[in-house]
Structure 1
Amino acid sequence: MVTSSGISGKHCRDVTLAVLGTMLVCELVTSLGFYRYIEKESVIIEEQRQALKKASEEKVRLLGSLAKTNGTVTSILGDFHALNSRVSSAKATIESYRPPAQSAGAAKAAREKAAADKGREEQVEQLLMEIEDLKSQREKLKEERNHAVQ
């Protein structure tokens, strides 16, 4: 059969099939390209999700470290205040053992009395050594506090 334009039906069918085949191939290529685009985007999204997860874990770790450091500083400050209290108490005890200002004769009698009272002297010496020890502990705590704050 021949159409009015002079083209046979078979030729029309072949052209139509070729056009449809070309359209099908175009759709296939477009779909494949879109699939590859989606695949690339999903890989990028997964990488970003993993990076966010790692950042979140690092944040949690840093917050834990900060809380631990804060606890250490608080503990050091508590120790420091306790030592200051002990030093003040020891100073008050030593002051209570000092005789009031006296005349030369009374001072001599007081010194002789203090020499006779060995137990009291030993206690004063022990308190003085404890004060020195407390001072050194306080200095160590100051250094630890400064180190922890940094």
Structure 2
Amino acid sequence: RGDAVQTIDMNQDNNFEEALKMRNLLEEFKENYGIRKPTILGVRENIFTGSVSSLAWFMSAQETSFVTLGQRVLANPLKVRMHYGHPDVFDRFWFLSRGGISKASRVINISEDIFAGFNCTLRGGNVTHHEYIQVGKGRD
């Protein structure tokens, strides 16, 4: 029905304040980042189970460093960011015309997320990262 698809995992949550920012995020599909418009809008994750234990806090801090500094550098200036998680927003028509988001494989079943990034990069897509919107994620 729409032009975009946001993939959400079953252990993720979104609150009302972040949902209000979705309209601004969808406007990013109209902007040019380099020579092309984006095909995957990367969204950061916020680990909301960090207060459960000291191990959960440590894992939350490690995840926060990857989703802020690491993802930001991979997206710009390196331009090598793939699809690393489920809160990303996809250009629906671009992916439907190129075989879909997930690829089924009987041999490799490690992570279905990375195949969307491979497909996007190999077919000339553009992946960006945005930190003004975040989706909550529960870790064990």
Shorter-chain TM range is under 0.3
Choose 1 or 2 for highest CA Rg: 1
Structure 1 or 2: larger strand share?
A: 2
Higher relative contact order (CA 8 A, sep 6+): 2
Structure 1 or 2: larger helix share?
A: 1
TM-score calculated relative to the size of structure 1: 0.22
